[in-house]
């Protein structure tokens, strides 16, 4: 029985969970968090795309604002433009060498829309997990032809695969639940 199937599968599933976690960190909750803007891509220098976190110090001085202090003051306008183009619907204000963003309070309707969006992102994460499971199941099926692997071994591998899937689906459900709760209680 080959444990590398499960080790590589877990590694891929961890990657899916981390991807969904990063996506959910960028969801606006009505509370200022540097993570909301740090991943926005900026064309900082001729053809060179960088994330804001690579170009500036990002802080949340209070619960309703984000302050971005670029290390190179020549990219202030480019960061502002990238934030305006992002899907976050934020309105940055440039004051000399820094950028301040006021985070508006969310309406009940907007909160419900964001909860739906969170559910969609988690569901796409689950679809990615299912794809990993399909790959792992194929590798388990390939074990049937191996010498010394019984049908019982194959069934144990299927059971183990299902337990891993349940574990990772539960992780995604917990991410969805905590983010939705954060949205609705603020």
Q: State how far the Cα of 74 lies from the Cα of 40, in Å rounded to an integer.
A: 17
The domain 31-102 is placed in CATH, from the list 3.40.80.10, 3.40.50.2000, 3.30.1360.40, 1.10.10.10, at 3.30.1360.40
23-65 tens-digit pLDDT: 888 776 777 888 888 889 998 888 889 999 999 999 999 888 9
Q: How many CA atoms lie within 13 A of 12 on its CB side?
A: 19
- Distances in whole angstroms, Cα of residue 144 to Cα of each of 7, 62, 63, 152, 158: 19, 59, 57, 10, 12
CATH class of 4-24+107-185: mainly alpha
Compute the average pLDDT of residues 91-100.
90
Residue ranges per domain, the chain? 4-24+107-185, 31-102
Assign 136 a pLDDT band (cuts: 50, 70, 90). Answer: very high
Distance CA(104)–CA(36), nearest Å, equals: 13
Length in residues, the chain: 186
Our measurement of the distance from residue 58's CA atom to the centroid of its chain's CA atoms, rounded to an integer in Å, reads 19
Of 77, 68, 73, nearest to 35 by C-alpha is: 68
SS3 state at 177: helix
Cα R_g (the chain), whole angstroms: 22
Same fold for the domain at 4-24+107-185 and the one at 31-102? no
pTM tops 0.85, yes or no: no
How confident is residue 112, by pLDDT bands cut at 50, 70 and 90?
A: confident
Q: Which residue has the higher pLDDT, 26 or 122?
A: 122
pLDDT at 5: 87
SS3 call for 118: helix
Instruction: Report pLDDT digits (tens) over 17-26.
Output: 999 998 888 7
What pLDDT score does 28 carry?
Answer: 67
| Contact in structure between 111 and 182 (CB atoms under 8 Å) | no
């Amino acid at each position: 029985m080959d444990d590398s199937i499960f080790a590589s599968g877990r590694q891929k599933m961890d990657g899916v969970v981390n991807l969904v976690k990063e996506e959910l960190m960028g969801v606006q909750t009505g509370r200022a968090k540097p993570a909301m803007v740090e991943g926005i891509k900026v064309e900082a220098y001729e053809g060179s795309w960088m994330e804001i976190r690579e170009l500036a110090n990002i802080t949340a001085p209070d619960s309703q604002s984000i302050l971005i202090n670029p290390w190179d003051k020549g990219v202030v306008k480019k960061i502002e433009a990238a934030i305006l183009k992002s899907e976050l619907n934020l309105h940055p204000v440039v004051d000399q060498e820094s950028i301040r963003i006021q985070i508006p309070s969310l309406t009940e309707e907007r909160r419900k829309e964001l909860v739906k969006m969170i559910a969609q992102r988690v569901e796409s994460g689950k679809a990615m997990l299912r794809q990993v499971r399909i790959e792992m199941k194929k590798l388990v099926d390939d074990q049937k032809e191996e010498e010394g692997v019984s049908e019982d071994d194959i069934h144990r591998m299927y059971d183990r695969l299902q337990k891993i899937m349940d574990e990772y689906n539960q992780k995604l459900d917990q991410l969805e639940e905590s983010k939705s709760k954060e949205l609705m209680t603020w």
